[in-house]
Amino acid sequence: MRNTNVITNSAEFGLIPQRSFFDKDIAVEGNTDKYYIIGQGDFVYNPRKSTTAPYGPFNCYQGDDEGIVSPLYTCLKPLHKEFTNYLLWYFRSSAWYSYIYHNGAQGGARHDRVGMTNELMDGIPVNLPCLEEQKKVSEFLTLVEERITKQHQLV
C-alpha cells in the first residue's frame, strides 16, 4: 500500500501534512516513488532559507502515522540514546548557524537555499550532555515556551 501522508517541513509550523499547509496536494500520486518515509522521532531538514529559519528549518516528526517527505529534504534518525526533544530544541536554536555559515555553500543560483551536503550535515557540532541533563534542559525550555504562550494569550 502506497503512503499518501505527504509531509512538508515549514519553518513556522514544523512538520505538517502538505495538504493543510498548501490547501492542495503538491505531490501527485505516482510522483512520490523517491520520497523518504519518516516516522515519529525522525528529524527532517529543509535547506530553504526563511526569516524564521535563516539556515533552513530542522524539525522532528511527531505524527503517529508514518509520512513521506520530498527527496529535497535531508532526513535523520537519532542512532543513540539522545533525547529527541533536546535535539529539537538544539536545532530550533541558532547554536549550529555559525558552523553552516562558515562551512556551507551560500549564494549562487539558489540563493534561497543552503548548499547542504552529507559531509556538512555530519560535521554539525552538537553538544550532547548526559541524558539526564538533556531532559532537564528540554523540560526547562518547554516550560518557558508554555509560559510565553500563556502570556501572549493574556495580552
Q: Which CATH number does the domain housing residue 19 bear?
A: 3.90.220.20
pLDDT, averaged across the chain = 86
The confidence band for 96, taking pLDDT boundaries of 50, 70 and 90, is very high
Looking at the domain assignment, is residue 94 inside a domain? yes
Average of pLDDT values for 12-27?
A: 76
**Res 46: pLDDT:** 92
Looking at the domain assignment, is residue 28 inside a domain? yes
Give residue 44's region: left, alpha or beta (phi > 0; psi -120 to 50): beta
**Res 26: pLDDT:** 63
Looking at the domain assignment, is residue 1 inside a domain? no
Looking at the domain assignment, is residue 56 inside a domain? yes
**Res 1: pLDDT:** 63
Residue 24: which domain range? 7-154
The confidence band for 138, taking pLDDT boundaries of 50, 70 and 90, is very high
On the question of pLDDT at 108 being above 60, the answer is no
Over residues 45-65, the pLDDT tens digits come to 998 888 999 999 999 999 999
**Res 27: pLDDT:** 63
d(CA 14, CA 68): 14
d(CA 110, CA 107): 6
Number of domains in the chain: 1
Q: Considering only CA atoms, which of 101, 27, 115 is closest in space to residue 71?
A: 27
Looking at the domain assignment, is residue 74 inside a domain? yes
Looking at the domain assignment, is residue 77 inside a domain? yes
C-alpha separations of 128 from 13, 81, 83 in Å: 26, 10, 9
d(CA 107, CA 116): 12
Looking at the domain assignment, is residue 86 inside a domain? yes
Looking at the domain assignment, is residue 2 inside a domain? no
**Res 37: pLDDT:** 94
